[in-house]
Amino acid sequence: MKAMILAAGRGERMRPLTDATPKPLLRIGGQTLIEHHIHALSQAGITELVINHAHLGEQIVKALGDGDAYGVSIRYSPEPDAALETGGGIYNALPLLGDAPFIVMNADIWTDFRFDNLPQSPAGLAHLVMVDNPEHHPGGDFSLSNGQLSQQGPCMLTFSGIGVYRPALFADCTPGAFPLGPLLRAAMDREEISGEQYDGRWFDVGTPGRLTAVNDVVINLQ
């Protein structure tokens, strides 16, 4: 099973830290965000990785290389003109990801989620990992009931940024920038998106303040 790490975002909310450093290379607990994800994927036996990049992307390539130092193989999906948003970025990388279901995760989170617990063949078009709503996102994203996700419902949770996707989810897409959300919502209406709730540690590292707070938590865990 292959995995894609989304690393092309500009990180506007993280400025000025991201003016000179891409957000995935910011450090928490002594290692960069993206290194933490690579180690977690490798420990789960997932060693074929794809990383997209745009803003200061050459720094990511230089830092990680071909992945040999981490015991993985890394291929890159550059977005040289501008970031293609989540949907467009995944679609652009499909030739590298192949025909089987694949994992996608955001680079700007920190979690102790075990990737070997993910289904290798979701029943529908995608399987998303959901978490309790953080203070900065109290309304959540989607509702989880009996393993199925819907746009609205009594159990609104936040999308963790971790999921398994079938290439067929993107069958009607065309090259260019587009968000992932509308594809997921349309598939949810057809009951083609499953989900699970993760109760472990998960943090959205979206601002300098949250970066500092998460770093303190991780250091205390070490």
pLDDT at 221 over 80: no
The whole model's pTM is what? 0.95
CB 192 within 8 A of CB 127: no
More confident residue, 11 or 75: 75
Q: What is the pLDDT, as a whole number, of residue 186?
A: 97
Report which secondary-structure segment, H or E, holds 117.
none
Q: Which amino acid is at 39?
A: H
DSSP per-residue string spanning 141-152: SEEEETTEEESS
What are the residue boundaries of the structural domains of the chain, listed by start? 2-202
pLDDT at 222 over 70: no
Q: Binning pLDDT at 50, 70 and 90, where does residue 217 land?
A: confident
Tens of pLDDT, residues 166-189: 999 999 999 999 999 999 999 999
**148 CB neighbour count, 10 Å cutoff:** 17
Residue range 107-117: average pLDDT?
94
Q: Binning pLDDT at 50, 70 and 90, where does residue 163 land?
A: very high
HSE at residue 50, side-chain half, CA atoms within 13 A, is: 21
Handedness of CA 160, 163, 168, 174 (dihedral sign): positive
Tens of pLDDT, residues 121-148: 999 999 999 999 998 899 999 999 999 9
**Residues forming a β-bridge with 76:** 51
CATH topology of domain 2-202: Spore Coat Polysaccharide Biosynthesis Protein SpsA; Chain A (3.90.550)
**Residues forming a β-bridge with 131:** 158
